[in-house]
Structures are given as structure tokens and as C-alpha cells.
Amino acid sequence: MTGTFQAYQITKDEQGTHAALTALTEQDLMEGDVTVNVEYSALNYKDGLALTGKAPVIRRFPLIPGIDFSGTVAASDHPAFTIGDRVLLTGFGIGEVHHGGFTEVARVDGKWLLPVPEGMTTRQAMAVGTAGFTAMLCILALEKHGITPGGNELLVTGAAGGVGSVALSILAGLGYRVNAVTGRRSEEDFLKKLGAVEVLDRKAFAEKAKPLAKEQWDGAIDVAGGNTLANVLSQIRYGGAVAACGLAESMALPASVAPFILRGITLYGIDSVMAPLELRQQAWQRIAKDLDFDLLETLTNEIGFADLPAAAESILAGGIRGRTVVKIC
């Protein structure tokens, strides 16, 4: 590789962090045995925090943000990948401690990469991205618990966001009855098109939770934390489960042990960053099989480098519906 390439880079000084489109060279890349010509990335909630500096997501500077990307292998010393392979990467600290996806060129450890599933484009891979991958990890956890389609009543919080919208569409397609929670009542028609049987107002989950509330849901996927998760836990039916994967509301969990010891419920913590390779492969295979990609396109918006600052603010304010793909080149 010769010459320069464009990357969105975050630097830090006494005044704070600063994000800007920057011309970089091969010498600016970090260690790795695979170099990728990046085609797409995605804007996730964590990326919004990194770009705005509203949380210490980035732990070394200067750094290229973006916690996922897809593209084509340009050079490889890793036995699993050759030039021209289509690959994707989510997690493993990219966009946090290792240069991430908001760049035209990335160099990474080949152990972090997966091939783009057969029949899926690199754009579709990032329309799924970290959010969709996380959604599938949640679904796999609920299935492992024994929650299957056919009458089970599920709840998805933050349903208009990235994780929630993908989870809702997959679950509805599998035959679950899915109830959607959102703070944006204007999205009710959108959520019902994705398969929600009922759309509930987030305000109903905002107050301090009772130790035990009426049993309503066999399982749930929560992206919020805080009072929302506490209320969800209090409403899970005997033996049910919740997959928790986010903190859009709060890192706190002001809940009671009552649902756990009186109803035998289970809380699964979902980590998409360091998920093992076998689980990643299983999740992406299921995504390729179970996700309606025509439906995915209806909930996907595409932006470029220049749109990142405004989009970062919007995703933190809950103003982005579905998935946002970042077109790199």
C-alpha cells in the first residue's frame, strides 16, 4: 500500500477529545496480520459515545473509532484469509484500544475476522453490524434457556434502535409474539411492520420497579438497564429469562432479588465484544438464515464520513431509527 488514506481520527489534549477526518499512511496503522480495504462500517451507540466524548469509550489516543467494519482483504499473513476475501469484524476492542472501522484501510489480527456469510454483501453485513450480532446473541441465549416460538410472549426494549429493531424483526419472523417498548410513539407503525404485536410506551417502565409485578412476559431483550430493566425483571413469568445487552438508560440496576428467588427467573448478560469464535460463527450463520434482508433494508440508513458528527449526537439522543451504515469507499 502506498500513499495516504482517509480516516476519522480522535485525538486528545488538555481541552478534551477532538474528532476529525484525517489523512493517514501505512505507518499510522497498528499491528496485525491482515490488511483490509474497508467498504462499510456502522454507527452504534458506543460509537456515538466515542465520537462525542460523552463516555470514556476510547482508551488510547490518537485512535480511529468505529467498533465494526466489513471489506475486502488487501494483504494477509494469516492462513485463513487471502487477498480478495470478503470479511467482517465486530468487537475485540477495535474503536476502543485498536484502530476501528471509520477508515478506508484497517490492519487487524486475523483471529478477529470472520468471512462475510455466503449470499450476504459487505453492506448488508454492516446493516447487521454489532447491533444485529448482539441481537442474535440475545436470541440464542433465550433459545438456550428453552424459550421457543409458539405462544411465548416476549418483550424487546429500545425496539426502534439498532439492537431492538433487528431483534424484533428476527423474533417475529421466527414466530414469537413480540411486544415492543419505545419512547417514540411516532414509530408505532414502523414497529408493527417489523412484527410487533403491541407497542408499549417506555414511560410505563421508567418509574422505580416493584419487587414483583404482574407476570406478563416469558422472556425479554433489554438494551436500557436502569429502571427499565428492573421493571422488566419484575414482570417476567415463572422460569423465564431476560437477555441484557445495553445501558442506554443507565448502568444501574435498582432491582429486587424477589423475581430470582420467588419466580426462578434468569438474567443473561450478553457481551458482543469478546464473544468466542464458535459463538460468533453460530450467530452469523443464524443471521444469514433467519433475518429478512429486504426488511433489514427498510430499517437501514446510509451516511458518509461528513455525516458522522450529527449522527453521533442523534443516536445518543434516541433520534435514529433502526440501523445506520457508514459508507467508507
Q: Mind listing the pLDDT tens digit of every residue in the chain (329 residues)?
A: 558 999 999 999 988 899 999 999 999 999 999 999 999 999 999 999 999 999 899 999 999 999 999 999 999 999 999 999 999 999 999 999 999 999 999 999 999 999 999 999 999 999 999 999 999 999 999 999 999 998 889 999 999 999 999 999 999 999 999 999 999 989 999 999 999 999 999 999 999 999 999 999 999 999 999 999 999 999 999 999 999 999 999 999 999 999 999 999 999 999 999 999 999 999 999 999 999 999 999 999 999 999 999 999 999 998 999 999 999 98
Task: Enter the C-alpha cell of residue 242.
Answer: 431476560
Asked if residue 90 and residue 49 are part of one domain, the reply reads: yes
Map residue 298 onto helix, strand or coil. Answer: helix
How far apart CA 104 and CA 95 sit, in angstroms, is 14
In a domain, 275, yes or no: no
Strand 68-76 to strand 105-108: parallel, antiparallel, or no bridges (unpaired)?
Answer: unpaired
In a domain, 125, yes or no: no
Cα dihedral 67, 72, 77, 80, rounded to 10, equals 90
- Structural domain for 44, as ranges: 5-116+299-327
Asked if residue 244 and residue 319 are part of one domain, the reply reads: no
Map residue 42 onto helix, strand or coil. Answer: strand
The CATH number of whichever domain residue 161 belongs to comes to 3.40.50.720
The CATH number of whichever domain residue 315 belongs to comes to 3.90.180.10
Asked if residue 193 and residue 260 are part of one domain, the reply reads: yes
For residue 189, the tally of other CB atoms under 10 A from its CB is 8
How far apart CA 76 and CA 68 sit, in angstroms, is 19
Asked if residue 264 and residue 141 are part of one domain, the reply reads: yes
Asked if residue 141 and residue 58 are part of one domain, the reply reads: no
In a domain, 274, yes or no: no
In a domain, 278, yes or no: no
- Quote the longest CA-to-CA distance of the chain: 64
Asked if residue 151 and residue 112 are part of one domain, the reply reads: no
Backbone angles phi, psi at 44, to 5 degrees: -110, 170
Asked if residue 247 and residue 204 are part of one domain, the reply reads: yes
Instruction: Give the pTM.
Output: 0.96
Q: How many domains does the chain have?
A: 2
In a domain, 180, yes or no: yes
pLDDT attached to residue 151: 82
Map residue 267 onto helix, strand or coil. Answer: strand
Asked if residue 310 and residue 252 are part of one domain, the reply reads: no
pLDDT attached to residue 2: 54
How far apart CA 13 and CA 9 sit, in angstroms, is 13
Asked if residue 255 and residue 163 are part of one domain, the reply reads: yes
Among candidate residues 178, 172, 166, 192, the one with its CA nearest the CA of residue 296: 166
In a domain, 188, yes or no: yes
Strand 153-156 to strand 114-115: parallel, antiparallel, or no bridges (unpaired)?
Answer: unpaired
Helix (H) or strand (E) holding 69: strand 68-76
Asked if residue 186 and residue 82 are part of one domain, the reply reads: no
